[in-house]
Amino acid sequence: MMTKFTLFCFLAFSLPAAILADVASNTKSEIILTVTGEIAAPGAEGRKMAYDLSDLAELGSTTIKTTTIWTEGLQTFEGVELATLLKTLGVTEGVIKAIALNDYAVEIPVADAVSGGPILAYKRNGQFMSVRDKGPLWVIFPYDSSAQFRTEVTYSQSIWQLAKIEITH
Amino acid sequence: MASTRQTKSKYYLRLLSLLLLVSIATVAVSILAMNITRDLKLLNSADSDNVQWSLTQAEVEFLEFDIELSIASNQLSPDLDALRRKYDIFYSRIKTLSQSQIYGELRRDAGFASNLEKSQAFLEAILPAIDGQETQLVASLPNIVAEANAVRPFVRSLANSGLMHFATESDRRRETLSTTLGQMAISATVLAIALIALAIYLGVLAQRNAKGIAKLNRANERMQIITSTSLDAVIVSDSTGKVLDYNTAAESIFGYTRDYAIGKELGELIVPQKFKDAHDQGMQRMREHGEKRVVGKGRVQLEGQHADGTIFPVELAIQSASTRDGEIFIAFLRDISEKVNADKELIEARDRALAGEKAKASFLATMSHEIRTPLNGLLGNLTLIKSTKLNAKQTKYIENMEASGSLLMNHISDVLDVLSYESGKLQIRLAPVDVSALLEEIVNSLSGAAMQQGTMLEWGWVSEPVGWINTDYRKLQHIVVNLIGNAIKFTQNGRVSVGVGLVQADSRAGELEITVRDSGIGIHPDQIETIFEDFVTGNSAYNREAGGTGLGLGIAQRFATVLEGHVSVESTPDVGSIFKVTVPVSVVKEPIEGLPSAPIAPAEKPLDILLVEDNEINRFVATEMLVKFGHTVTEAVNGKVGAELANAHRFDLILMDISMPVMDGREATRAIRAGGGASKDSSIVALTANVLVNEQEMFLADGMNDVITKPLTEEALNHVSNVWGVQRNAANHLLSEKHFTELREIIGPEQHAKLIERLSAEVADLIDDIQNVSSPELDEVAASVHKVAGSAATLGANGFATLLNSLETAAKAKELAEVEKLSGKLPLLWQRTLGAFRERT
């Protein structure tokens, strides 16, 4: 049920966000994610990996339809699975440390990065996400699919404005 | 039964309420558990995220933006991208607070909402500058700083108000949880108590149940012991006859083991082959119509079959009972082979005894008769000797011999009287009797004997004198003669007085009492009980003095009995005895003069009578009597002459003496019947001194129609002439020749013979049934007589049928005397009818 207030908020913020999306698509080559640490993929050992939106989109596109505790109504997220990303980097064990633009950091065990698990979402409801709209990357779990994704730990791991990943053993 | 049901329903009620309590407690606990789970879920994970961190983060991100803003304000070429990034991050945070459902509750808080609104207004206000050209942004920096300073306290309050809210919320949740947990504890306690109560109650029930089962088991055991120790076979079956139980006695009686018998069909097991159909039909009747012929009807005697095929008598009682599995039958059987054998032996022994008794009676009768005939000869010859020339001594001897002979004759008569009484053939002939004349006659005849004893004999009325009474003259005479004779015998030089009185019940009936009082030796009290028994005589010391067979009083008592009266005695030794005879009589008018002892009407029509009698005096007397009634009499001196006369001339009635020289009466009768002469169908009536029934039957078999006993009386003569003379026509038509022959030709000799046989059987039954008939049975008699009459008429036995019709009429009219009279004629007429049948086949 949408209250008058939330309706107001939605109208207030949706217009500038759309403008920003266009900005983001124009600066597609901009690096939005860097990955460092225990990378085991041949030829990339120990290097710092940098990804722009098209790089990530090339890795794969997985869609999750779910509600979240931070949004109103059913949302459609599109992104690359964390598992896919880690697989390209040859990471099979350890912990990844995800760091946001506001320096918020959270650890996600590699073991949790499974198929059907978290994705690095770059589109919400068909639109790329601006920073004001928790973009450009947002770690999303399929919350509606299982109660195991509706825990405080999972919510804390649902990091938005993701910028960096450090992989440790 | 009713109380058990009540107790049971009480149990169920208690159990039900306990179960209800447990259910309610369980539901309560479940609901509470669900609430707790929900609350825990809310606390543990749910939709909370780290909200407090997010709220403080809003202030932190505002401050970071503020710091970046100060740095940019103090530089000539500030890092505007960094500033924009910090703006975006704060923007994103505020957007989250205003949109996320986590803060929905919080947003309803007026303070929070106001602070949030101010923060949003700030962001909106500086948005055009942030998104504008760099120069424009730089130019706006001082303005943005001012705006930031103005909004800072609100952003801080935003975080704080949020914190307050969540702290309160947290407290409320804890409290709710605590209350729920408390309720849960109470419910759990109630549940536990209810469960314990239920457990205890179920325990009590189980114990009670166990006791009941134990009691039932004991009862069953006792039942088992009772049936297994029963001497009678006990077999239980269901309604189809299948054996359900079979006790030890049944094993030994029927030879099958219990294991073998159970489950078998009762009929197959113990019912003999010949009764199996009847058994099956009985079972079927019971199943289909519930008809029970043996069940519950007490003991019946049947036959059972042993395992080895032996059939033996059993006594059987069946009871039925309703059980939950349907109706069952309990049969109690007892092998009564021994009892049946014992009964059979007993019956055989009785039959032998009876046969022996009969043979003895027959022997006695024959001997008596055989003695009497030569005795008659002796006495007759003594009479002849007396008319010859004798001296005084010889005369004395002859007188002695005559006295002895007469005495012997009396004894023989006594024996015959006893025999005929015992065989039930002692008939009474009621006729008007002048009491005074009877007494006078007896006293006169005995006064000589009294005189010899020096005893005085007298008689007189003790009541108002009575004229005529209806009784059996001969029997009453015999009784009184006997009593007075006895009194004289035991009284020497004394007195015997006879008192006669009538104790009148009403004007027509009363009891005649004749008292014989003597002053003789009396009877000892020890003997008084037995004096009426046969062959009992007085004290042996007096035996020789008094003499006698010991039958006198026995006969007197018997005669009194057939007259429906009795003889009693009182006696004091050496003082005397008093004998009293009492018989019921009816007072009658004096009969018409000229026929003093013949109540039957005189001859209805004059008859042509043939009298065959060798004794000249008897012949003379009889002729005189018959002529007096108006009949014509032809005399014959023996059977041969009689038969010749009968063949030559048709007589209405032939009176035939039995014992005659040349040809006796029986042979003469046979000759007349077989000879085909003129009188072959005439009535023939025997005249005989023979009182034995057997012999009388033989006469009838010879073809005689009736028997009258000597001495001849007018009454008897009148009677036979009336009955047999009148029935002459019927006698002529004993058989309808035409009818008889035709029927024989139609159905053939074999069937005809069978019909005759069947009629014979019917007649024999009728004759048996009609003997000693009593008034209430007359209707029954009429019915059976009617039936036989029909059968007789069918065969053309007109004479017999006519007699039966008269008999039926009399029976319907309840004339008992007439029925007795007519039924007495049945055997003879039937004999004749059968003879007629034989002649024509």
The rounded distance, in Å, linking the Cα atoms of B297 and B283 is: 15
For residues B597-613, give the mean pLDDT. 67
The three-state DSSP-derived secondary structure of B777-823 is HHHHHHHHHHHHHHHHHHCCCHHHHHHHHHHHHHHHCCCHHHHHHHH
What is the average pLDDT value for chain B, to the nearest integer? 82
Mean pLDDT of A15-37: 58
d(CA B380, CA B385): 9
| B807 — pLDDT class (breaks 50, 70, 90) | confident
* pLDDT confidence of residue B513: 93
**DSSP-assigned letters across all residues of B317-363:** EEEEEEETTEEEEEEEEEE-HHHHHHHHHHHHHHHHHHHHHHHHHHH
Query: Can you read off the two tokens belonging to residue B283?
Result: 């079972």
- Report yes or no: B102 at the A interface, CB cutoff 8 Å: yes
Most B-contacting residue of A15, A131, A139 (CB-CB within 10 A), to test interface: A131
Q: What is the DSSP string of B13-49?
A: HHHHHHHHHHHHHHHHHHHHHHHHHHHHHHHHSTT--
Contact flag B131-A16 (C-beta cutoff 8 Å): yes
Residue A25: pLDDT band (50, 70, 90) is very low
Q: Is residue B603 part of a domain?
A: no
- Say yes or no for a CB contact (<8 Å) between A6 and B98: yes
Whether B67 and B212 map to the same domain: the answer is yes
Q: Which of B49, B97, B114 to mutate to test the interface with A (most CBs of A within 10 A)?
A: B49
Rounded Cα distance between B403 and A145, Å, is 154
* Chain A: residue whose CA lies nearest to B102: A69
State pLDDT tens for residues B779-792: 888 888 888 888 88
Over residues A51-65, mean pLDDT = 90
CA B34 to chain centre: 79
What is A8-77 written as a DSSP string? HHHHHHHHHHHHHHHHHHHTTTSEEEEEEE---STT-TTPPEEEEHHHHHHH--EEEEE--TTSSS-EEE
Flag if B127 and A16 touch (Cβ within 8 Å).
yes
Decide if A132 and B95 are in contact by the 8 Å CB cutoff: yes
Residue with the bigger pLDDT between B742 and A14: it is: B742
Q: Tell me the per-residue pLDDT of B641-679, one tens digit each, with 9 for 90 and over.
A: 999 999 888 888 899 988 888 888 889 998 888 887 888
What are the tokens at B314? 């059993």
Structure token digits, residue B561: 């009995």
d(Cα B682, Cα B608) in Å, to the nearest integer? 11
**B595 occurs within a structural domain:** no
Residues B577-599: what's their mean pLDDT?
70
Alpha helices by DSSP H, B663-713: 665-675, 693-702
Note the pLDDT of residue B828: 79
Residues 6+ positions from B211 with CB-CB distance below 8 Å: none
Above 70 in pLDDT, residue B538? Answer: no
* Interchain pair A152, B48: CB under 8 A: yes
Q: Residue A33: pLDDT band by 50, 70, 90 thresholds?
A: very high
pLDDT grade for A63, boundaries at 50, 70 and 90: very high
Query: Are B583 and B565 spatial neighbours (Cβ–Cβ below 8 Å)?
Result: yes
What is the CATH classification number for the domain harbouring B450? 3.30.565.10
- Do B324 and B358 lie in a common domain? no
For chain B, the domain total comes to 6
B91: nearest CB among A132, A150, A152: A132
Indicate the residue among B664, B699, B726 that finishes a domain.
B726
Q: Which residue has the tokens 């994103």?
A: B92
Partners of A102 on chain B (C-beta within 8 Å) are 57, 61, 64, 89
Provide the pLDDT for residue B784: 85
CA atoms within 13 A on the CB side of B86: 18
pLDDT at residue B569, rounded to an integer: 92
Q: Residue B559 pLDDT more than 60?
A: yes
Q: What is the band of A123 on the pLDDT scale with cuts at 50, 70, 90?
A: very high
- DSSP collapsed to 3 states, A5-27: HHHHHHHHHHHHHHHHHHHHHHC
Do B688 and B819 lie in one domain? The reply is no
Q: Which has more confidence, A130 or B712?
A: A130
Give me the pLDDT at residue B597, please: 36
Contact B522, B577 (CB under 8 A): yes
Over 50: is that where the pLDDT of B448 sits?
yes
- pLDDT value at residue B372: 72
pLDDT at A16 over 70: no
Q: Does the CA dihedral A13-A14-A15-A21 come out positive or negative?
A: positive
**Residues B118-136, mean pLDDT to the nearest whole number:** 89
Taking the CA of residue A161 and the nearest CA in chain B, the distance in Å comes to: 8
A57: nearest Cα among A132, A161, A128, A115: A128
Among A5, A140, A150, the strongest candidate for a mutation testing the B interface, having the largest count of B CBs within 10 A, is A5
Nearest Cα residue in chain A from B82: A101
Q: How far is CA B647 from the centre of its chain?
A: 63
Query: What ipTM score was computed for the predicted complex, to two decimals?
Result: 0.75
Residues B505, B526 within the same domain: yes
Residue B479 in any domain: the answer is yes
The shortest C-alpha distance from A70 to chain B (Å) reads 4
Domain containing B570: what range? 427-588
For the cut 90, the answer to whether the pLDDT of residue B169 exceeds it is: no
Q: How confident is the model at residue A138 (pLDDT cuts 50, 70, 90)?
A: very high
Whole-number Å distance between alpha carbons of B657 and B638? 8
Residues recorded for chain B: 841
Does the residue B392 lie in any domain? yes
The whole-number pLDDT of residue A13 equals: 40
Residue B548 banded pLDDT, cuts 50, 70, 90: low
Q: Among B51-60, B76-85, B443-452, where is mean pLDDT lowest?
A: B51-60
CA-based nearest distance B181→chain A, Å: 23
C-beta separation of B766 from B784 below 8 A: yes
pLDDT at B427 over 90: no
Q: Determine the distance in angstroms separating the CA of A168 from the nearest CA of chain B, rounded to an integer.
A: 25
State how far the alpha carbon of B296 is from the alpha carbons of B269, B328, B331, B360, in Å. 22, 12, 10, 48
Cβ-Cβ pairs closer than 8 A, A with B, add up to: 74
Share of chain B above pLDDT 90, in %: 11
Question: What angle, 0 to 180 degrees and rounded to 10, lies between the N-to-C axes of helices B714-726 and B616-628?
Answer: 60
Per-domain residue ranges for chain A? 4-168
Per-residue b or e along A5-15, where b marks 16 or more CB atoms closer than 10 Å to that residue's CB: bbeebeeebee
| Interface subset of B 114-173, CB within 8 angstroms of A | 120, 124, 127, 131
Contacts of A130 in chain B (CB under 8 A): 88
Residue B410 sits in the same domain as residue B500: no
What is the model's pLDDT at position B42?
A: 62
Residues of B in Cβ contact (< 8 Å) with A160: 92
| pLDDT at residue B516 greater than cutoff 90 | yes
Pairwise pLDDT comparison (B604 vs B726), residue with the higher score: B604
Where does the pLDDT of residue A142 fall: very low under 50, low under 70, confident under 90, or very high at 90 and above?
Answer: very high
pLDDT value, residue B581: 94
Q: Are residues B95 and B155 in the same domain?
A: yes
Confidence of residue B713 (pLDDT cuts 50, 70, 90): low
Residue B621 has pLDDT above 70, yes or no: yes
CA distance B131 to chain A (A): 10
The most confident of B130-134, B225-229, B506-510, by mean pLDDT: B130-134
Q: What's B402's domain CATH number?
A: 1.10.287
B2 within a domain of the structure (yes/no): no
For residue B671, which of B661, B656, B690, B659 has the smallest C-alpha distance?
B656
| Helix or strand run (H / E) with residue B526 | helix B525-528
Both B381 and B436 in a single domain? no
Contact B45 A150 (CB under 8 A): yes
Chain A residues within an 8 Å CB radius of B47 = 69, 150
* Predicted pLDDT of residue B349: 92
Of B134-143, B440-449, B734-743, B763-772, the one with minimum mean pLDDT is: B734-743
Mutation target to probe the B interface, by most B beta carbons within 10 A, among A138, A141, A155, A160 is A155
Beta-bridged to residue B499, according to DSSP, are B460, B515
Instruction: Read off the pLDDT of each residue in B417-439 and give the average, rounded to a whole number.
Output: 79
Q: What is the pLDDT of residue B540?
A: 44
CATH superfamily of A4-168: Oxidoreductase, molybdopterin-binding domain (3.90.420.10)
Whether the CB of B103 is below 8 Å from some CB of chain A: the reply is: no
The reply to whether B813 and B675 lie within a common domain is: no
Q: How far apart are CA B841 and CA B833, in angstroms?
A: 13
Q: Both B742 and B687 in a single domain?
A: no
Q: Which amino acid is at B836?
A: A
Whether B714 shows a pLDDT value over 80: the answer reads: no
- How would residue B602 be classed by pLDDT, with cut points 50, 70 and 90? low
Distance CA A22, CA A1 (A): 30
Contacts of B81 in chain A (CB under 8 A): none
Mean pLDDT to the nearest integer, B400-407: 81
> What is the predicted pLDDT for the residue at B541?
41
pLDDT of residue B356: 85
Residue B781 to residues A35, B785, B797, B813, B822, Cα–Cα distance (Å):
141, 6, 20, 12, 13
Provide the pLDDT confidence category of residue B599 given band limits of 50, 70 and 90.
very low
Q: Does B434 touch chain A (CB under 8 A)?
A: no
- The angle, 0 to 180 degrees and rounded to 10, between the axes of the packed helices B110-131 and B80-99 is 150
By three-state DSSP, how is residue B443 classified?
A: helix
Helix (H, G, I), strand (E, B) or coil at B606: coil
pLDDT at B289 over 80: no
According to the model, what pLDDT value does residue A161 have?
92
Q: Indicate whether A6 pLDDT > 50.
A: no
CA nearest to B501, candidates B516, B514, B484? B514
Query: Shortest CB distance from A69 goes to which of B49, B64, B131?
Result: B49
Closest CA to B283 of B255, B314, B254, B320: B320
Query: How would you classify the pairing of strands B653-657 and B683-688?
Result: parallel
Looking at chain A, which residue has its C-alpha nearest residue B62?
A: A102
Question: Which pairs from B343-348 meet CB under 8 Å and 24+ separation?
Answer: none
Distance from C-alpha of B684 to C-alpha of B653, rounded to nearest angstrom:
6
Residues B315 and B445 in one domain: no
Instruction: Give the mutation candidate from A69, A125, A130, A157 for the B interface (greatest B CB count, under 10 A).
Output: A69
pLDDT at A64 over 90: yes
Provide, as residue numbers in chain A, all residues whose Cβ is less than 8 Å from the Cβ of B113: 5
Flag whether pLDDT at B60 surpasses 70: yes
Among the candidates B192, B227, B262, a domain finishes at B227
Is pLDDT above 70 for A2? no
One domain for residues B828 and B703: no
- pLDDT higher than threshold 50 for residue B244: yes
CA distances in angstroms from B577 to B314, B480, B516, listed in the order given? 60, 15, 8
DSSP class of B604: S
Specify the higher pLDDT residue, B459 or B17: B459
DSSP B270-298: HS-HHHHHHHHHHHHHHHHH---SSBTS-
CATH label of the domain that carries residue B666: 3.40.50.2300
Give the tens place of pLDDT for each residue, B338-363.
888 999 999 999 999 888 887 877 78
**pLDDT confidence band for B159 (50 / 70 / 90):** confident
Does any domain span residue B291? yes
Interface of B with A in 30-89 (CB under 8 A): 44-50, 57, 61, 64, 85, 88-89
With beta carbons under 8 A apart, name residues in chain A contacting B128: none
In this structure, of B37-51, B56-70, B686-700, the range with the lowest mean pLDDT score is: B37-51
Contact at CB, B120 and A160, closer than 8 angstroms: no
List the structure tokens of A143.
Answer: 């919350």
Q: In terms of domains, do B714 and B679 share one?
A: yes
Q: A131 to chain B: which residues are within 8 Å by CB? A: 85, 88-89, 91-92
pLDDT for the residue numbered A20: 36
